[in-house]
Amino acid sequence: MIHFTATIKKFGIQGEKTGWSYIEIPAAIAQQLKPDCRQSFRVKGKMDDYHFTQTSLLPMGEGNFIIPLNATIRKNIRKGIGATLAISIDEDTSPFEYNADFMECLQDEPAAIAYFKSLPGSHQKYFSKWIDSAKTAPTKAKRIAQAVTALAHRQGYAQMIRSLKGQKEL
């Protein structure tokens, strides 16, 4: 486990990352976590008192990485841009666990499961994470149905989200 402090930052105009809140992981720390790695990998640990797992470290060039701070993380750390966080991280090599209900429903739709299996692992995870982020059981069930339907129609996650825009409650 590596310990350090980091300041919460926010991207200005930065392509797809515009407006993201993040913390920077210097190259020296990233090399301690996973030597000679220049691509995204998963970490686990703590930001102050907030525990996290299966969180992506994203490469930013010259050996530096970032951890994007999504809404869940920001809510739990209760700090904003410019604040300092005590960070403890280590590489997370545990296997990703897909939402069990989603995987069970996929088994009933051959076209959906076939297309799902053809997607890269990171794209498969988008569906499961979106389903898991639902706050209520009815929303989770609705998202499972939407995901299975989209996959049966050979839609990836982004295409499904675009097609759902305008409908009430994703």
pLDDT in tens, 58-112: 999 888 999 999 888 999 999 999 999 999 999 999 988 899 999 999 999 999 9
pTM: 0.67
Token pair, residue 126, equals: 């988008």
Domain hosting residue 82, numbered range: 2-91
Specify the pLDDT at position 92.
Answer: 94
Last residue of a domain, one of 73, 91, 109: 91
Last residue of a domain, one of 91, 116, 135: 91
Strand (E) positions, 20-164? 21-25, 41-47, 50-61, 64-68, 84-91
CA dihedral of residues 138, 140, 142, 146 (deg, nearest 10):
180
Specify the pLDDT at position 166.
Answer: 66
Residues 42 and 81 in one domain: yes
Residue 169 resides in a domain: no
Specify the pLDDT at position 98.
Answer: 93
Quote the distance between the C-alpha of residue 56 and its chain's center: 6
